[in-house]
A and B are shown apart, each in its own frame.
Chain A
Amino acid sequence: MPRIPFLAALAAALSAAPPVAALAAPPAGAAPADAVPALAFEKYRLPNGLTVILHLDRRLPLTAVDVWYHVGAWHEPRGRSGFAHLFEHMMFQGSRDVGKEQHSRILERAGGTIINGSTDFDRTNYFETVPRNYLETALWLESDRMGFLPEAMTQEKLDNQREVVKNERRQSRETAPYGLAEEALWHALFPEGHPYHGAVIGSMADLSAATLEDVKAFFREWYAPSNATLAIAGDLEPSEAKRLVERYFGSLPARPRPSAAGRDPVRLTREVVLRHEEAVATLPRLSVAWHSPAMFSPGDELADVLSAVLSEGRSSRLQRRLLHEKQIAQSVAASQQSMGAQSVFQIDAVARPGVPTERLLVEVDAVLSEVRAGKVTAHEVRRAVNKIETQLMKRLERLGGYRGRTELLQIYDHFLGDPGGLERDLARYRAVTPAALAAFAREWLPRERRAVLHAVPAATEGR
């Protein structure tokens, strides 16, 4: 599930840490699959509908708080692309009892780390990791903006953060290598009017159009306790944590849980080929993208394993052919961007100087033909799954923030309805076979259902 959400700043039935295989454990050779670590938790709900997940881990004197609101770019009103993310910024502008600039100041002075928020297509979250004695402070801050945000909203704050977000867009799109090319490709997959069209950051025009009333209305509709899940992990006393949750969140008024309209997945019906004049980067880049299965739906795990088989490590199929043998690409990456309604499988290859993107496409197609024909071996699949398992274990190292324990619990709860999804998640990867990868590539990655983008710097155009 590699993806980079946009960030606001920059920038247990409660048992202990997972049992870990000892260093000197089994001898080399065909080792048995490692036991799945227990990520123990307790989940409950307050009368106002707020879901709470607690996880105990005493390794460090830290506590992580991660609040998920089940609303994202998908839920933006028409003509307001980028609004869910702009709203996320407004959540750092103070609330009834918290002054502007106070949120980050209080937490930074307390020794907090990874203080941020992030907006994705399907959800928005707010998080901080603090020394354990500041748990109550973190809950005070989070509850105040969950309950009392609109009282502190002003036109001046909105105008300020609108400018900040426009600069974020300039930094990640207009002045970043391939930033606008990426957006053009995305628009080919999700046309105007599709809720994923805005690619979270949205357009300058829609950001300009957002009003203070939009902020308040979005809060009223989507930021209800019943549409939120609070995860707390770390060095805590469960009974004390529950008491604090009750104190700070229990009296927030219940509001009905909102629901969003569903929508049938879109797919391309013919190959779409785009050319983009690249203004920032110096080398041409080829991108090929397909719609793919939604997060955790059948096939999502095949897309993850295939992306590793294609581009994780020097001996992966695309790296080997394009970088190592032919030496025609500077870099190549395959990725499954998993999202709630439907996902995107994408291959990006940056050309070596003097190599046209058409040449890259020929080689990418040759590799895909091998995959469709069942040439991927069991060895390749095993190595890919091993790497995915290591990546999953890395998500158990941090308590909170990006790719930490609270995020993992929240992902499983949001998409699977159960924070304890780790075992199921690992199992789906371990069951992947070479034949299933071939079938996946035939069904989901055909030529006639893809978008191809040639991003070519003006100076090398026509070579």
Chain B
Amino acid sequence: MRRAICLALPALLAACATAAPPPASTAEAPGPPPAPPPDPEAWRATPPAPGAAVPPRAPEFRRDRLENGLAVYVSEQPSMPLVTVSLGFRAGSGADPAGKAGLADLTWRLLLEGAGTRDALELADAFGELGANPAVTVERDGAAISATVLPRHAGAALALLAEMARRPRLAAADLERRKRQQLADLAARVGDPRFLAGWALSEAVYGGGHPYGHPVSGLPAAVARLTLADARRFHRENAGPATAAVILAGPVTLGEARALASKHLGAWRSPARPPPPPAALEASPRREVVLVPKPGLGQTVISMGRPALPAGHPDLEALLVANEVYGGAFSSRLNMNLREKRGYTYAAYSRVEALRGAGLLALGTSVRADVTGEALSQVMLEMRGLSERPVEDQEMAGARDGLMQRMPGTFETAERLAAAAAALHWRDLPLDHFARRVERLRSLDLPSVRSAAARWFQDGVMGVVLVGDRAVAEKQIPALAIGDLTARQPPEPPAAGPPRRAGAAGR
């Protein structure tokens, strides 16, 4: 009986373990049996109250403009050991011209192949002297070239980046080398189940013709057709003071940043203009479940998504909180069910991508192959669960507070701050975007979160993609009656065959 009490009330366990069994003689003692000695550690059963509340703190950015229109963003961080120097451009894969998917990625990466007086190797060496490897980031709404360096190297780093932006070589040999590299990268990627899931989901959600309907890298067949003229034109139309921003995050002031930008880019002139935002999209009822066959795979990658809200939309915060309850965090309903209750997966998460024109609500998980169907129906059940077990007050408060208080921890590094500034620039968001987010989160009420949950998490309009073994899917999916199982073969890798004799390639 003592044992049963111990198991039922774990807080008493230590007392049980240390209490000596009562000697036989005391059994005859009159009166009630002596109480066990108090557990000196019993106080641990009460969680401590948090200390005095810390006001939510959003990252701050300052901005200036040069006479030629070039924007200069700064996140001043006086005590940071490094500075991230970046040039952001308002043209990502969403600006790929029709039929030229992958052109933005190819063109921005081509800037690494040589600029001004330096070829690709000399450029790499120049960054190496500064202790940096230059990074090229290309996303759907924009791109950035950047380097993270000791503060005394900030000017030298910006000089190199400015040269890449203003005077890239864009030579025929450079394009051929870069293109072959990107085709090889694609050949590697089309073997990766998680890349295949992302590719198929983009198409399922946006459709192949939408600016967001293809992977940033493009696909082999289209990339193989890109020409030097395409890249030169893309650069001419998208790299200029009206589309670019100089971004510095670290121990640097706005005045210092402006002076550096003015020195290296003040004379920059270009006809480039920002592309229009991609068109918004409505979700439509799902008719099919897309299967990308990958024979013998021991897990099935499940990926789902639908169009959602664009960046800066005033209803985004309600969606973010609903997403936090559903699947945005480790302790969200989705992961607690699929991982912590059922052990189907290592992780299951959903996410909100607030893109410039048409945002995305998506989720992903990799599950043991034999529970593919069951996992998929649990994912759907949790969506319906948002209506059947509506978000509770405490759930909402926890999700909202977590999102507000997480901000400082999300922006600890210079690179994160610079990336956030670049995203503000790409999406034309106000400088106080994050402070506004905090204010909107603070003023959210339960009905608006519940209605966002009901509106966005509708299982019937979610595009569904599976990457895995075909026989597994054919056995488990049709019974769910969630759409026709439609196989979509992975993109063909680029044609094999040894590269042309290229010993003297480059220059």
Chain B 466-507 interface mask (CB, 8 Å, partner A; 1/0): 000000000000000000000000000111111100110110
Asked whether any CB of chain A lies closer than 8 Å to the CB of B252, the reply is yes
Interfacial chain B residues near A399, Cβ < 8 Å: 412
Residue B281 interfacial (CB < 8 Å): no
Task: Check A171 against B44 for contact (C-beta < 8 Å).
Answer: no
CB distance from A147 to the nearest CB of B (A): 8
- Known contacts: A9-B347, A137-B48, A393-B82. The answer to whether A313 contacts B495 by CB under 8 A is no
Chain B 49-62: CB-based contact to A (< 8 A → 1; otherwise 0): 01111100100000
Neighbour of A148 across the interface among B14, B339, B494, B499, CB < 8 A: B14
Stretch of B181-189, B200-208, B231-239, B445-453 on the interface side: B181-189
A352, B179: Cα distance in complex, Å = 13
A113 touching B344, Cβ below 8 Å: no
Q: How far is the CB of B417 from chain A (nearest CB, A)?
A: 10
CB neighbors of B among A92-111 (8 A): 96-97, 100-101, 104-106, 108-111
Count of CB-CB pairs between chains A and B under 8 Å? 315
- A390 with B148: CB separation less than 8 A: yes
Q: Considering residues A28, A62, A327, A460, which has the most beta carbons from chain B within 10 angstroms of its beta carbon?
A: A327
Q: Are A282 and B187 in contact (CB under 8 A)?
A: yes
The interface stretch among B24-32, B120-128, B310-318, B426-434 is B120-128
Q: Once the chains bind, are B50 and A137 in contact (CB under 8 Å)?
A: yes
| Interface presence of A275 (CB below 8 A) | no
Known: A109-B401, A110-B50. A390 touches B150 (CB 8 A): yes
Give chain A residues whose Cβ lies under 8 Å from the Cβ of B346. 10, 164-165, 167-168, 170-171
Q: How far is the CA of A231 from the CA of B131 in the complex (A)?
A: 29
Which residues of chain B in 367-421 are interfacial with respect to chain A, using CB atoms and an 8 Å cutoff? 367-368, 397-399, 401-402, 404-410, 412-414
Residues of A within 8 A of B505 (CB): 324-325, 327
Whole-angstrom CA separation of A320 from B128 in the bound complex? 14
CB neighbours of B413 from chain A (8 A):
394, 397-398
**B174, chain A: closest CB distance, angstroms:** 11
Per-position binary interface string of chain B over residues 329-351, scored 1 when its CB falls under 8 Å from any chain A CB and 0 otherwise = 11100001001111111110100
- Nearest-neighbour CB distance to chain B for A304, whole angstroms, equals 14
**Given A22-B151, A386-B129, residue A37 in contact with residue B81 (CB < 8 A):** yes
Check A20 against B368 for contact (C-beta < 8 Å). no
Q: Which of A140, A280, A397 contacts B81 (CB 8 A)?
A: A397
Q: Does A133 contact B (CB under 8 A)?
A: yes
Instruction: Determine if B151 and A23 form an interchain contact, defined as CB atoms under 8 angstroms apart.
Output: yes
**Smallest beta-carbon distance A168→chain B, Å:** 4
A259 at the interface (CB under 8 A from B): no
- Please name all residues of chain B whose beta carbon is closer than 8 Å to the beta carbon of A353 when the two chains form the complex: 184, 187, 493-497
Take A131-B54, A134-B50, A353-B184 as given contacts and tell me if A140 and B129 are in contact as well, using a CB distance cutoff of 8 Å: no
Is there contact, CB below 8 Å, between B343 and A164? yes
Q: Which of A96, A109, A324, A327 contacts B121 (CB 8 A)?
A: A324
Contact, CB under 8 Å: B296 / A279: yes
**B14 contacts A354, C-beta separation under 8 Å:** no
Chain A 311-332, CB within 8 Å of chain B: the 1/0 string?
0111110001001111110110
Query: A16 at the A/B interface (Cβ < 8 Å)?
Result: yes
Residue of A nearest to B82 (CB): A393
Inter-chain contacts of B329 with A (CB < 8 A): 104, 108
Mask for A419-463, Cβ within 8 A of B = 1, else 0?
A: 000000000000000000000000000000000000001001000
Q: Which residue of A lies closest to B152 (CB)?
A: A25
Assess whether B10 is interfacial by the CB under 8 Å rule. yes
Cα(A104)–Cα(B340), bound, Å: 12
Report the separation of the CA atoms of residues A114 and B407 in the bound assembly, to the nearest whole angstrom. Answer: 12
> With A132-B54, A164-B345, A174-B299 in contact, do A109 and B124 touch (Cβ < 8 Å)?
no
Which of A28, A134, A174 is B156 in contact with, Cβ under 8 Å? Answer: A28
Complex CA gap A431/B342 in Å reads 53
Q: How far is the CB of A25 from chain B (nearest CB, A)?
A: 4
Q: How many residues of B contact A (CB 8 A)?
A: 107
**A100–B340 contact, CB under 8 A?**
yes
Would A17 and B251 count as touching, CB distance under 8 A?
no
Contact among B14, B131, B181, B367 for A151, CB-based, below 8 A: B14
Is B137 among interface residues, defined by CB-CB distance under 8 A?
no
Candidate in A175, A313, A328 with the most chain B CB atoms within 10 angstroms: A175
Which residues does chain A contribute within 8 Å of B184, judged by CB atoms?
A: 283, 330, 352-353
Task: Provide the bound-state CA to CA distance between A283 and B133, in Å.
Answer: 26
Which chain B residues numbered 452 to 469 have a C-beta less than 8 Å away from chain A?
A: none
Q: Which A residues lie within 8 Å of B80 (CB)?
A: 17, 20, 59, 397
Expressed in whole angstroms, the minimum distance between the Cβ of A427 and any Cβ of chain B is 17
- In the complex with contacts A315-B125, A325-B502, A386-B129, A111-B404 CB distance below 8 A: yes
Residues B128 and A324 in contact, CB atoms below 8 Å apart: no
Query: Is A109's CB under 8 angstroms from B44's CB?
Result: no
Known: A164-B346, A283-B191. A112 touches B406 (CB 8 A): yes
Q: How far is the CB of A345 from chain B (nearest CB, A)?
A: 20
Q: Known: A34-B150, A313-B128, A327-B177. Is A283-B188 also a contact (CB below 8 A)?
A: yes
Q: How close is A164's CB to chain B, nearest CB, in angstroms? A: 5
User: Is the Cβ of B398 less than 8 Å from the Cβ of A105?
Assistant: yes
Who on chain A is nearest to B490 by CB?
A: A282
Q: Is the CB of A133 within 8 A of B410?
A: no
Indicate whether A23 sits within 8 Å of B367 (C-beta atoms), given known contacts A97-B45, A160-B343, A393-B82: no
Contact partner, A101, options B152, B190, B331, Cβ 8 Å = B331
Within 8 A of A (CB), among B117-154: 120-125, 127-133, 148-152, 154
Q: Which residues of A contact B444 (CB under 8 A)?
A: none
Most interface-central of A110, A314, A383, A387 (chain B CB within 10 A): A314
Closest residue of chain B to A19 (Cβ to Cβ) is B79
| CB of A193 within 8 Å of the partner chain | no
Q: Let me know if B188 and A108 touch, CB within 8 A.
A: no
Question: Are B410 and A113 touching (Cβ within 8 A)?
Answer: yes
CA A321 – CA B370 in complex, angstroms?
Answer: 45
Cβ distance B359 to chain A, nearest Cβ, rounded Å? 23
Bound-state Cα–Cα, A315 to B368, Å:
42
Contact B13–A151 (Cβ < 8 Å): yes
CA distance A109 to B296 in the complex (A): 40
CB contacts (< 8 Å) of A316 on chain B: these are 124
Q: Are B188 and A174 in contact (CB under 8 A)?
A: no
Residue B227 is within 8 A (CB to CB) of chain A in the complex: no
B439 within 8 A of A: no
- Please state if A386 and B191 are interface contacts (CB–CB under 8 Å): no
A280 with B497, Cβ < 8 A, contacts A25-B152, A111-B402 known: no
Is A362's CB within 8 Å of the partner chain B?
no
Q: Which of chain B's residues have a CB closer than 8 A to the CB of A23?
A: 83, 151-152, 154, 251-252, 256
The answer to whether residues A330 and B188 also contact, given A168-B346, A280-B193 and a CB cut-off of 8 A, is yes
Bound CA span A175–B299, Å:
7
A383–B112 Cα gap in the complex (Å)?
18
**Closest chain A residue to B51 by CB distance?**
A133
| Residues B188 and A282 in contact, CB atoms below 8 Å apart | yes
Would you give the 0/1 interface string for B246-271, flagging 1 where the beta carbon is closer than 8 Å to chain A? Answer: 00000110001000000000000000
The answer to whether A325 and B506 touch across the interface, beta carbons within 8 angstroms, is yes
Smallest Cβ-Cβ distance to B184: which chain A residue:
A330
A320 to B124, CA, bound (A): 10
The answer to whether B344 touches A167, judged by C-beta atoms less than 8 angstroms apart, is yes
Q: Is A4 an interface residue (CB 8 A)?
A: no
A280–B399 contact, CB under 8 A?
Answer: no
7 contacts between A and B (CB under 8 A): A10-B349, A23-B256, A112-B402, A148-B41, A313-B125, A313-B133, A379-B125
New contact pairs (17) apart from A9-B347, A327-B181, CB-CB < 8 Å: A22-B152, A23-B152, A25-B151, A62-B412, A96-B13, A101-B336, A137-B48, A137-B50, A148-B13, A151-B13, A168-B346, A170-B298, A282-B188, A282-B493, A325-B503, A352-B184, A460-B496
